[in-house]
Copies of this chain bind each other. A is one copy, B any other.
């Protein structure tokens, strides 16, 4: 019998080795898998390469990983934490900055067995021409640059070749999930979560509500269980997040 629900979060995520590449869902704190991130921190994982849209404006989630010095490299479109940039300019963490749509599509592509695709986003900019510094030396001089992208013209416009991302692990947060790993997200907390879940070789999902199998109608599942390996229940939302109303959204 397939039963992906696990009680012991720490035991589950302890299979993640330091140095792993981890895709993480969420947009800011919306849909961010804090329980799983905290578990990785509590277990002392280090040298991580995160693929995540935001670093976050607070010291929860990815922000916690950053201030605890657990990050080696971040692939993101919008890191906004000042402390992140301090570490980046000091040569302590690398930044692979990519357009948000390219990030979403690279995760989907990796999960879908598409190794590379052409996109117009970022063509002719410093994010694709080899001039963006993705890592600094401790003295503040550039240590390395994002590689220049292969370009090709389609329909008269320049496009760049981008690569699918397959992460060693993925951390996903869902509103509801069942023991088969079927997940459903709520409003814009969906965002990058299904894509991170597709891109992970091994995907952990934390759910706000563990529901009975078949409570989710087959047509209402946003990410089917075939993409999910382990399901845990999310710890209560941190007080820094607004309280979620249960009524309908106007």
**Residue A219 lies at the interface, judged by CB distance under 8 Å to chain B:** yes
**A113-B120, A117-B118, A120-B113 are contacts. A218–B159 as well, Cβ < 8 Å?**
no
**Residue A238 lies at the interface, judged by CB distance under 8 Å to chain B:** no
Total count of chain A residues near the partner, CB < 8 A: 24
The 8 A-B residue pairs with the shortest CB-CB distance in the complex, in nearest-first order:
A115-B154, A117-B117, A116-B118, A114-B117, A115-B118, A115-B159, A220-B220, A114-B119
Question: What B residues does A155 contact at CB under 8 A?
Answer: 115
Which residues of A approach B to under 8 Å, CB–CB?
A: 105, 109, 112-120, 152, 154-155, 159, 184-187, 190, 218-220, 222
Q: Are B115 and A218 in contact (CB under 8 A)?
A: no
Q: Are A219 and B114 in contact (CB under 8 A)?
A: no
* A115, closest chain B residue (CB): B154
Q: Are A218 and B187 in contact (CB under 8 A)?
A: yes
For this complex, 16 residue pairs linking A to B, each with C-beta atoms less than 8 Å apart, are A109-B117, A113-B120, A114-B117, A114-B118, A114-B119, A115-B155, A115-B159, A116-B117, A116-B118, A117-B117, A185-B219, A186-B219, A187-B218, A187-B219, A190-B219, A219-B222
Q: Are B105 and A112 in contact (CB under 8 A)?
A: yes
Question: What B residues does A113 contact at CB under 8 A?
Answer: 119-120
Complex Cα distance A61/B155, Å?
32
Q: In whole Å, how far is A228's beta carbon from the nearest beta carbon of chain B?
A: 18
Complex Cα distance A219/B185, Å?
8
Complex Cα distance A105/B159, Å?
19
Which of A119, A155, A187, A219 neighbours the largest number of chain B CB atoms within 10 Å of its CB?
A219
Complex Cα distance A213/B112, Å?
33
* A116, closest chain B residue (CB): B118
Which of A113, A118, A120, A187 neighbours the largest number of chain B CB atoms within 10 Å of its CB?
A118
Complex Cα distance A220/B113, Å?
26
